[in-house]
Structures are given as C-alpha cells and as structure tokens.
Amino acid sequence: MLPVINAIADALGPWVDPIALPALRRLYFPLSRLWATASVRSVTDARFEDETGFSMGNPVLRGLAMGICRQVVERHDAMRHANRRWEEHFFGPDARGLGRHGEVEAERRAAAARWMAGRALLTPLRLISRVPPVRWRIPSPAQMDAAYGRFLDCPADAFAPALPWPEVEVSQPIENGETRSYWLRFPTPHPRIADMTNVKIVEPIATPARATVIAGNGVCIEPEMYPSRVLEIAGSLVGRGLRVIEMTSPWHGRRTLPGWYGGEMFFAGVPLSTLDLFVGQSWELATLIDWCRRAFHGPVGVVGVSMSALVTQLALSHGSSWPASARPDAAFLMLHSSAIDEIAFTGELVEALGIIDAVEKAGWSRAALLRWSPLLMPTDRICVPPERLVSLLARDDRVMPVAGGIAQLDRWRVPASNRFIWPHSHMSVPAMLRLDDAPIRRFVEILTG
C-alpha cells in the first residue's frame, strides 16, 4: 500500500502550490485580516474600515457584521482568558501545587483553536467586500537606514547576539506516556521586537535524549494554536531518542500582537520587519543553543523550515563570530534559498500578498530594496562543517525557486549524500516527510553519530 501512496503523492506534489497560493490570496489572507481586526475592534469603530476596507453599507449588512464579529470577540476573549490561566498554572508562584497540567494545556489549545477557526465565520463578509491581505505599515528608506544602516558594511555585527544571555524560565512539565513536555520563556534579546520568547520542549522519558534539536516554524504556521499535534515537528523526532525544542517565531502564535494575525507583521513592514524577525530570531536561537549546552551537555542541532530556514542560514553564516557555546553541531534546512532577490521578485507568495506593489507605493524602488541584500543573504561560509548540513528542496517550489537553494549548497560544498531534491512544491514537502523520512534519518545520523 505504501508504494501506491507514494506514487499518488509524487503525482500530486507539484500541483499543491498552484492550487494553494491562489486560495491564500483570495480567501485565507483577506479572511485573516478581517478576523484579526474583528477580534479587537467593534464594527462601529472607524478604524475597523481603515484596517479592513470593509464598509458597513446598509443597516442589514451592519447587523450581519455585528452579529458575526460579536462571536469572534467572544472567542478571542475566551482564548485570552485560557492563556492567562495557563501562564498562572505553568509559570506562576504556586504552579507546582496546582496539578491538572494536561487539562489546563488542553483547555488553552482548544480555546486557541476555536478562536483561530473563527476566520470561517467571516466568509460572508469577505465575499461581499474587497479586503486587503495585509495591514501595510511599510517604512520609509530613512527609517530603514536608522535601524540597520550602520550594519551594511559588516552584516555579521547585526547578527551578533546581545550579551549577557537573558535569564531563561522553565515551566512545570506535563508527562504523557512516553514523553515529557515543558516550556521555556525569556525576554527576546532584540529590542525592536521587545516581547517574551516562548518555546516548547518535548523529550523522551524512558531514556536520556541522545541530542537536542531546535526547530523553527514556517511563516503563518502556528502549531501550538491547535489541539492536534500534526503541525509539530516533535512527533517525528522524539521517537528517535531526541529532545525537541519548538520555537515560536516573533509575531506568531502567542507572540502575535492584538489586531494582527500570526505572521502578518513579518509582511506588513517589509523590508524592516523582515530584518527585525531575521535578526531577532537568530539571537533567540543563539540564546537557546547556549542554554541547551549548559542544561543538557549533549549535541545540539538546528532545523529551519521555509521562513525559519532563511533565519537559520543567516545564523549559520554569522555564527562563527558567536560564542562557541551558541553554535550548533549540525543543521537541517528545508525549503531554503540564498537568492533573496529571486524570492522577492519572482516568488509567488510575495506576489499573492502584493508585497512589491505595496513597497513601490511607499516609495521604494527595486534598487533601494536590493541595497539591503547583504543583510538578508547568507555568506559563502557557515559555522558547521558542510558535511554536517542536510538540505531538502522542492523542484517545483513556487515560493522559493529551487535554483537559489542549489547554488547555495554548491557554494557551501555540501556533499551529494546530504542533498535531497524532491519532485514536489513548497507546500507539499512537509507532508511528504511523513512518507519518506530519508532526510530526517540522515540529519539524525549526523547529529548523533
């Protein structure tokens, strides 16, 4: 049966992007924009129309919108209440004596999922109105210069983690059969993001973990906001005897600011928001690697997927100047590319969101954008030996065209045995890993061997 499933998957793989990307453009992103504003603003607030483009029109439409948005607000409030209870339970001063760890976590995830599903309630409003995919906040070139201009001549300085390392708090654990889960939190080292980093750790109970893996999420991917663990990478690695730390990127999951949807701020303020996330998450990754060295003493590997692969390749590029304790022992990059200009000007997710139109309206030229490439592109050398890096690319990737990833591997001299190029599209590859785990097996072999 498995060969048949694999054959079907190979046949369908290249077609996922052409189907999914128009759906994101026409439905998911506009619905998310409506939903994010509806969660925190009344439809009678003038800012509601400013942030969504949705006009009340006639009294019947107003009544429909108010009824729908009231439900979204109720779900948002329930999610926030569940989050507060969760924080008190797992990190509060009396956390150890509260008990009910699994129940509190299940309640939090259920409330989050119900709020996330509230997007669907807004479908009638989306169908009768034009809604932008993103609430744009494009900076001026002068603002970009003020934030990062001093790093153009030495990009490594922008990615050098701020020391001393922030203090890391550890939550109460949940034990569920064969695994133990707990969370870490610490103030993000990057002042331009200025929130609390939170990550989840899952580790085997029966035997000590052979190594630790720190994994990043793709843009708009928020595993902890759903009851199902299907989006979490831990399931495919903990069973191999590894400890898995799942990062939540800035502006995603519980780090999303009110009135925004997960990942939206990454798009909204390009190119400034792009660098803020890349630099901020790199510093957070360095903090976690250093903490793992002290807490667990074993090897530490990093995994980056799509957006987080772009972050990880920058961390690998500039990690040679980091403290030795903050450098990984091995890396697995999935769906990556060094051709930032190609992603920006030909990648179809950028096109679906209308990012280039938005920045041009804000006064940016192509040349002005490309001036910042040195801060966004990985260097020709990385801080791990090339034989300790594994890559998985998609031949029919319409988000990050594959040529940029292959050229990157050539420059890094990554051996052929560590390169995997599948006949799939960007959005089908993660699911295909459940059918063919050869890249994961190779990465685990390198990390633990």
Task: Calculate ∠ Cα 390-17-334, nearest 5°.
Answer: 10
Task: Calculate the alpha carbon distances from 377 to 14, 326, 341 in Å.
Answer: 27, 21, 9
Lowest-pLDDT range of 88-102, 351-365, 423-437: 88-102
**Residue range 2-22: mean pLDDT, rounded:** 58
> Residue 193: CB partners within 8 Å, gap ≥ 6?
250, 276, 277, 280
Split at pLDDT 50, 70, 90, the class of 347 is: confident
Say which DSSP state 44 is in: T
Sequence-distant (6+) residues with CB within 8 A of 75 are 39, 111, 114, 115, 118
What CA–CA distance (Å, rounded) separates 410 from 106? 45
> Distance (Å, rounded) from C-alpha 310 to C-alpha 25?
22
Q: Are 40 and 114 contacting, i.e. CB atoms less than 8 angstroms apart? A: no
Q: Give the list of residues 6+ apart from residue 80 with CB closer than 8 angstroms, or none.
A: none
pLDDT, residue 417, reads 98
Q: Which of 9-18, 123-132, 192-201 shows the lowest per-residue confidence on average (mean pLDDT)? A: 9-18
Q: Is the pLDDT of residue 366 over 60?
A: yes
Maximal C-alpha separation, the chain: 68
On the 0-12 / 13-18 / 19+ scale of CB atoms within 10 A, 252 is buried
Q: 96: buried, middle or exposed (CB in 10 Å: 19+, 13-18, 0-12)?
A: exposed
405: confidence class by pLDDT, cuts 50, 70, 90:
very high
Looking up tokens 């926030």 gives 80
Distance of CA 136 to the CA centre of its chain: 19
Q: Is the separation of the CB atoms in 334 and 309 below 8 Å? A: yes
Instruction: Count CA atoms within 13 Å of residue 343 on its CB side.
Output: 22
Find how far residue 358's CA is from the centre of its chain.
22
Task: Give 292's pLDDT tier (boundaries 50, 70, 90).
Answer: very high
Between CA 335 and CA 313 the distance in angstroms is 11
User: Tens digits of per-residue pLDDT, 86-99?
Assistant: 999 999 876 555 56
Read off the pLDDT band of 432 (50, 70, 90).
confident
Q: Give, in order, the Cα–Cα distances in Å from 342 to each of 178, 282, 357.
A: 44, 22, 16
Contact 233, 224 (CB under 8 A): no
Which residues belong to CATH 3.40.50.1820 in the chain? 141-448
Which has more pLDDT, 184 or 347? 184
Taking only the tens place, the pLDDT of each residue in 24-33 is 888 999 999 9
Q: Which residue has the tokens 């999303």?
A: 256
The answer to whether residue 181 scores a pLDDT higher than 50 is yes
Q: Which residue is associated with the tokens 């692969």?
A: 309
Is residue 249 scored above 70 in pLDDT? yes
In this predicted structure, what is the pLDDT of residue 443? 97
pLDDT digits (tens, 9 = 90+) for 112-126: 999 999 999 999 988
What's the whole-number mean pLDDT along residues 215-220?
94
**146 near 163, Cβ under 8 Å?**
no
Q: Is the pLDDT of residue 389 over 60?
A: yes
Task: Report pLDDT for 146.
Answer: 97
Contact predicate 230/433, CB 8 Å: no
pLDDT band at 263 (very low <50, low <70, confident <90, very high): very high
- Tell me the pLDDT tens digit for each residue of 330-341: 999 999 999 888
Q: Does the pLDDT of residue 2 top 50, yes or no?
A: no
At residue 139, the pLDDT reads 96
Q: 141-448 has which CATH code?
A: 3.40.50.1820
The residue with greater pLDDT, 120 or 228, is 120
Cα atoms found within 13 Å of the Cα of residue 397, Cβ hemisphere only: 25
CA 41 to CA 258: how far, in whole Å? 10
**pLDDT higher than 80, residue 62:** no
Q: How confident is the model at residue 234 (pLDDT cuts 50, 70, 90)?
A: low
Least Cα distance to 128 among 203, 179, 55 occurs for 55
Over pLDDT 90: what percentage of the chain?
Answer: 72
Residues in the chain: 449
pTM of the model: 0.94
Residue 352 above 90 pLDDT? Answer: no
Write out the E strands in 162-310: 169-170, 174-176, 179-187, 196-204, 211-215, 242-247, 300-305
The confidence score (pLDDT) of residue 9 equals 45
Q: Whole-number mean pLDDT of the chain?
A: 91
What's the distance, CA 255 to chain centroid? 11
Mean pLDDT over residues 11-19, rounded?
67
Q: In terms of C-beta density within 10 A (0-12 exposed, 13-18 middle, 19 or more buried), how is residue 347 classed?
A: buried
Q: Ranked by mean pLDDT, which of 120-129, 219-228, 326-335 comes out on top?
A: 326-335
Tokens of 27: 């439905």
- When pLDDT is averaged across residues 116-139 and rounded to a whole number, the result is 92
pLDDT at 6 (0 to 100): 44
Q: Which stretch of 48-57, 156-165, 169-178, 371-380 has the lowest confidence by average pLDDT?
A: 48-57
Inform me whether the pLDDT recorded for 7 exceeds 50: no
Q: What is the mean pLDDT of residues 407-424?
A: 96
Among residues 184, 411, 404, 386, the alpha carbon closest in space to that of 294 is found at 184
Beta strands in 289-435 (DSSP E): 300-305, 330-334, 389-394, 419-422
**Beta-strand pair 389-394/419-422:** parallel
What is the torsional sign of CA 428, 434, 437, 439? positive
Q: Peptide bond preceding 164: is omega within 30 degrees of 0, i.e. cis?
A: yes
